[in-house]
């Protein structure tokens, strides 16, 4: 059985750049939709048996109707192709307030054919899955407020520990009630003990429900389809079952600059090892993140240009240059020249980090007039943490000695 698994679409991530004049959409949104189109096209052209989306269709829990329209277009293509599609609720999809709909509620309300929204923990059997010989354990995101309300415990750590134990018991119960002759798949939007975060870290670990590694690596599972962490990875690499985070479908921020983007094809057969194909999403927007520390006040702007790639390498990329420098050199930086140099970039972010020079503190009770020039210079070198201070001090001694001899 051929499954397509993707997660963390965040199609309304319109935090960089300009709008497309033809569609009126932010160009960055079009980047995400391009990746989503590739995923949907693959599902249809390769006639996969099921699509599992493991949460976070959007960034905003109350997405604009325009973005809901664009997501809906792609899901309807899967529906019209009669491809069973499971949409798991992620932390960016949950209802923003009690009594309000979640971000992808409409597919459930309208009973869109072949599309099922999973907004509660559940166990799905073949009769629930359009007759497919599969069993699915689904664990959508559980809001922190819901966790605290579910217990009488006020300490969040203790409440999380108790809820994590309850979730573990629930999943174990589902496994025990399953038909051992049919593959079991776990899909969840959560963190896993031992998983590696990417640059996003949208939530602190202390506020996350964390599933235990032993729970998700249960050999009774044929495949584990995860969402929430943007770094692509198999948490159980080299072993069965594959425990897969496919990662976000486009780069979300500079923390993901060096990571490629993927979706996954999993071939699941009972009694056989599950084979996983990582499908790289081509043409994702390039992020370039460079840092510089100015050591000299000479040719400052040229030094900063040298810290950047060549202009053609920055073409259509989102570029960031962070620079540290002494505050008094601020006027030496020609920002307009840097922006001219990076004009082929999709967007250029210039972060200036002026540093205040360390002030030399004269020991209490000691007057400046009582110190020799060499003493003052030594204190300055110490305060500024100057490299090669000893050699410079010796050089100063020689200069002063020569000057004394000349006079």
In a domain, 362, yes or no: no
Whole-number Å distance between alpha carbons of 299 and 290: 19
> Do 119 and 267 share a domain, yes or no?
yes
Say how many domains are in the chain.
3
From 237, 252, 280, give the residue that closes a domain. 280
> Do 142 and 24 share a domain, yes or no?
yes
Residues 6+ apart with CB under 8 A from 161: none
In a domain, 392, yes or no: yes
Among residues 189, 193, 157, 188, the alpha carbon closest in space to that of 174 is found at 188
> Do 276 and 297 share a domain, yes or no?
no
In a domain, 363, yes or no: no
Half-sphere exposure of 3 (CA within 13 A, CB side): 30
Whole-number Å distance between alpha carbons of 98 and 391: 69
Give residue 303's domain range.
287-355
Instruction: Answer whether 58's CB lies under 8 Å from 11's CB.
Output: yes
Tokens matching residue 127:
């009769």
> Do 111 and 257 share a domain, yes or no?
yes
> Do 214 and 330 share a domain, yes or no?
no
Give the strands of the sheet with 347-355, arranged side by side: 287-293, 318-326, 347-355
In a domain, 360, yes or no: no
At residue 179's C-alpha, the angle toward residues 175 and 185, to 5°, is 55
> Do 85 and 216 share a domain, yes or no?
yes
Ordered per-residue pLDDT tens for the chain, 407 residues: 999 999 999 999 876 678 899 998 999 999 999 999 999 999 999 999 999 999 999 998 888 899 999 999 999 999 999 999 999 999 988 877 777 888 898 999 999 999 999 999 999 999 999 999 999 999 999 765 555 555 555 666 676 677 778 888 999 999 999 999 999 999 999 999 999 987 655 433 346 778 999 999 999 999 999 999 999 999 999 999 999 999 999 999 898 999 999 999 999 999 999 999 999 999 999 999 999 999 999 999 999 999 999 999 999 999 999 999 999 999 999 999 999 999 999 999 999 999 876 555 666 656 666 677 877 788 777 766 676 778 888 888 877 776 554 54
In a domain, 58, yes or no: yes
> Do 72 and 213 share a domain, yes or no?
yes
- Please say whether the dihedral angle defined by the alpha carbons of residues 266, 269, 270 and 272, taken in this order, is positive or negative: negative
> Do 230 and 303 share a domain, yes or no?
no
In a domain, 349, yes or no: yes
Residues 6+ apart with CB under 8 A from 121: 138, 139, 140, 142, 167, 170
- Please say whether the dihedral angle defined by the alpha carbons of residues 90, 96, 99 and 100, taken in this order, is positive or negative: negative
From 252, 280, 308, give the residue that closes a domain. 280
Q: What is the 3-state secondary structure (H, E, C) of 123-172?
A: EECHHHCCCCCCEEEEECCCCHHHHHHCCCCCCHHHHHHHHHHHHHHHHH
Residue 32 CB coordination number (10 Å): 28
Whole-number Å distance between alpha carbons of 66 and 68: 5
> Do 220 and 293 share a domain, yes or no?
no
In a domain, 361, yes or no: no
Whole-number Å distance between alpha carbons of 251 and 67: 18
In a domain, 108, yes or no: yes
> Do 263 and 304 share a domain, yes or no?
no
- Whether cis (ω within 30° of 0) applies to the bond prior to 177 is no
> Do 103 and 27 share a domain, yes or no?
yes
Among residues 66, 76, 74, the alpha carbon closest in space to that of 25 is found at 66
Beta-bridge partner residues of 187: 138, 225
Residue with tokens 């600059």: 257
SS3 for 390? helix
From 245, 280, 315, give the residue that closes a domain. 280
> Do 276 and 293 share a domain, yes or no?
no
């Amino acid at each position: 059985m051929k499954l397509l698994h993707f997660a963390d679409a965040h199609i309304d991530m319109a935090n960089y750049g300009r709008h497309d004049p033809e569609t009126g959409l932010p160009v960055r949104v079009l980047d995400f939709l391009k990746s989503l189109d590739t995923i949907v096209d693959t599902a249809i052209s390769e006639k996969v048996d099921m699509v599992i989306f493991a949460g976070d269709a959007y960034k905003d829990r109350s997405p604009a109707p325009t973005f809901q329209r664009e997501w809906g277009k792609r899901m309807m293509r899967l529906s019209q192709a009669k491809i069973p599609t499971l949409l798991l609720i992620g932390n960016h999809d949950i209802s923003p307030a009690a009594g309000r709909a979640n971000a992808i509620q409409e597919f459930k309300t309208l009973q869109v054919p072949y599309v099922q929204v999973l907004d509660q923990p559940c166990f799905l059997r073949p009769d629930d899955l359009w007759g497919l010989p599969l069993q699915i354990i689904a664990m959508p995101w559980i809001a922190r407020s819901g966790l605290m309300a579910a217990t009488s415990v006020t300490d969040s750590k203790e409440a999380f520990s108790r809820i994590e134990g309850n979730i573990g018991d629930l999943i174990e119960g589902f496994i025990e009630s399953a038909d051992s002759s049919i593959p079991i798949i776990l899909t969840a939007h959560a963190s896993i003990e031992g998983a590696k975060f990417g640059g996003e870290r949208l939530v602190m670990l202390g506020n996350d429900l964390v599933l235990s590694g032993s729970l998700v690596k249960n050999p009774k599972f044929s495949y584990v389809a995860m969402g929430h962490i943007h770094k692509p990875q198999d948490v159980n690499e080299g072993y069965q079952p594959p425990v897969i985070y496919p990662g976000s479908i486009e780069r979300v921020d500079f923390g993901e600059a060096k990571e490629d983007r993927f979706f996954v094809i999993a071939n699941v057969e009972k009694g056989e090892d599950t084979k996983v194909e990582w499908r790289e999403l081509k043409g994702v927007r390039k992020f370039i993140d460079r840092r510089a520390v100015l050591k000299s006040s000479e040719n400052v702007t040229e030094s900063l240009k040298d810290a950047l790639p060549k202009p053609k390498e920055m073409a259509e990329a989102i570029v960031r240059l962070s620079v540290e420098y002494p505050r008094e050199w601020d006027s030496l930086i020609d920002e307009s020249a840097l922006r001219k140099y990076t004009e082929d970039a999709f967007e250029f972010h210039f972060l200036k980090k002026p540093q205040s020079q360390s002030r030399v503190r004269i020991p209490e009770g000691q007057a400046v007039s009582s110190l020799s020039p060499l003493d003052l210079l030594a204190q300055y070198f110490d305060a500024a943490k100057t490299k090669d201070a000893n050699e410079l001090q010796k050089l100063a001694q020689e200069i002063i000695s020569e000057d004394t001899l000349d006079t």
